Amino acid sequence: MNQERKRNSKRSPLKLGKVADSGPKTFTSYWERGVECLLSGKCTQALPLFESAIKLRPDDVAGYMWRAHCYLDMKRYAAAAIDYRRSVKMDSKYVFGYPRLCLAKAYSKMGKYHLALAEYKSFMAEAPWPENTRKIFYGDNYKISFYSDCLAPLFKRMGKTREALWACEKALELTRGNKKRIGSIKRRMAKMILKNIRSKSPMWANPVT
């Protein structure tokens, strides 16, 4: 039995290697297979595929973004932050500012809350895309998620309870009477924030439009 396990353990890496190297060796093929593996929860298989894609096209931000997603899922937050930061430098407008949001998330996971907040500030201050495109991509659901799922928890971790309440209130303003979303945000508020506390808008805050 033990000998059989040893034989199987020796074979599996070879099989994984063959799968990773099969098919056409182009940026798109490596990237697509990497995305497929990552979305299936196979981070260890996805990582070398993204690395191969980056080698073939080192000036394409998509390779670094998806390798960073992979690092994030593997809880290698410092490595993820490096790739997200590189993506911001390469093209901060990529997917309408998405690299900054991801970089902020990586910083938050590392406990570097002030750096995370700085990225959120930059995201809110920038407007590098046409207004109509921004409205299409950042519909109300995205705005609600930004305030309630990104800013509010970060403020709470930083001990800024009043600012966290402000972020939740901004999310509530965008629900437009959606009872399901309202209930979800209010439950979050109840967990995070004590009663009888007034909200406080950050001095730097400009609404995401």
- Mean pLDDT of all residues in 174-198: 73
Give residue-wise pLDDT tens across range 55-77: 999 999 999 999 999 999 999 99
Give residue 23's pLDDT band: very low, low, confident or very high (50, 70, 90): low
Q: Count the Cβ atoms, other than its own, within 10 Å of residue 111.
A: 10
The pLDDT score that the predictor gives to residue 3 is: 41
Whether the Cβ atoms of residue 27 and residue 56 lie closer than 8 Å to each other: yes
Residues 6 or more apart whose Cβ sits within 8 Å of residue 16: 45
Which domains are delineated in the chain? 2-97 (1.25.40.10)
- Mean pLDDT of all residues in 146-175: 87
Give residue-wise pLDDT tens across range 81-134: 999 999 999 987 777 778 998 999 999 999 999 999 999 888 877 754 455 555
Joined together, the tokens standing for residue 193 give 């924030």
The pLDDT score that the predictor gives to residue 203 is: 59
Among residues of the chain, what percentage have pLDDT more than 70? 73
Whole-number mean pLDDT of the chain?
78
Dihedral sign for Cα atoms in the order 77, 82, 87, 93: positive
Nearest to 76, CA basis, from 85, 65, 67: 67
Round to whole Å and give the CA distance between 189 and 18: 50
- Say which residue, 80 or 189, is predicted with more confidence: 80
Give residue-wise pLDDT tens across range 7-21: 333 333 223 333 344
Q: Is the pLDDT of residue 166 over 50?
A: yes
Is residue 115 classed exposed, middle or buried when 0-12, 13-18 and 19+ CB atoms within 10 A define those classes?
middle
The pLDDT score that the predictor gives to residue 119 is: 92
